Structures are given as structure tokens and as C-alpha cells.
Structure 1
Amino acid sequence: YKKGECLIYKERPLDCRLYPIKIKFKQDKAVIGLSLGCKYISFLTEKKKKELCYRVVIFLKKAPSIISNDYLNLMQSINFISKPKNFWMRKIVEMIKKKSFWEIVK
């Protein structure tokens, strides 16, 4: 971390690129939300936060299922073998895994 920017910023992993969108897993459930610890989010109006949440839901509905499933399965595996960081977030959408495929439930 140097000058307010991550040293690998240009080559950062997908999970970092998606920030302030975060995912919490509990068994075969995933909650996708906005990280409330993000300074950017704290400066957004409520209207802008709702627009961002809406764009995330639209993306999840339109993205090829192979991409979203592969990503969520990978992140679930990483979550399983690591100690996930605790963070506050505002729920955007909840997903459930059925036979290796993730579906939006709320």
C-alpha cells in the first residue's frame, strides 16, 4: 500500500476490482452486498446507493451463468479454506446454491 493505492492495483484480483461489492457465505447461501466500510459508499446519496444495487442485480441476472457460477463457487471455496474478514454490509441480493448452480432468492 503506497500513496493511498495498493501496490498491485493495476493487476489486482477480481475480488478487489469488485469492491465495494462483497460476498458473505454461509454453507450454500451467499449474500452479496455493499461494504459499509468503504469511504466511497459513505459519500454516496441513498439514491446513488440504490442505483448501484440495482446495477448489481441486473448484472447477476444477465451474466452468463457459467461465469457467475464459476466465480461464486471459487469464492465459496476460498471462504471455506480461509478465515474471512468480518465486515458490515448492506444486503443487495441473496443467492442459494442448488446442484452446483447459484440462483437469486431475494
Structure 2
Amino acid sequence: MNAAAQQTFRALADPTRRDILLMLREQNMTIAQVADNFTMTRAAVKKHLTVLSDGGLIKVHSQGRERINTFNPAGMAPVLDWLTFFDAFWDDRLNALKSAIEKDASND
């Protein structure tokens, strides 16, 4: 797994960061707006947002004096790629099992 994918999975590993992503999916928010939803300091929220940004899951842009955090759906690509690999793995395994069962049934 490449470094970018590692950062994405690291970002998703924390339940608080997953909650933040769900909020940002609904609307863009400032650090203060995100912090209003948690019982932690703005500094702690900022650290979570930094990890999400490093993982490519959010984008941050300035609007006047504020920094606006936006969900980046394209950042989920490493996760989808990883899951697709296992989806293909299980498709192959299940097809092999089906073939074996059909072969065994035809021998009866």
C-alpha cells in the first residue's frame, strides 16, 4: 500500500474524524463550526482536520480570514481501490467454489 493510501486509512481510523467527514459531507464548515459539535478544543479539532487533509479526504481553502473545510469524495479512491481488490478476490474464490460444486454434482 502506498504512502497516500496509508494516510487515508490513518485518517479514517479515528471515529471523531469519521464523524467530521459525515458533517462535511452535508456542508462546508469552518474549524469553529466543526468544534461546536464536539467537546474538545479548537486546537484538537484542527489536528483532526489536518489529518483528514493529509489523507486527501478534505480540502481547505481560505475565505477572508476563515478557513473552510470541504469534503473531498475523490480522497476515498485509495479505500475503494483497496476494497475492489478484495471484492475481486472473493469473486474468484466463489466462482472456483461454484465450479467445484457443479463438477461434483455432475459426477453424481
Q: Which has the higher strand share?
A: 1
For normalisation by structure 2, the TM-score amounts to 0.28
Q: Which has the higher helix share?
A: 2
Greater RCO, 1 or 2 (C-alpha within 8 Å, sep 6+): 1
For normalisation by structure 1, the TM-score amounts to 0.28
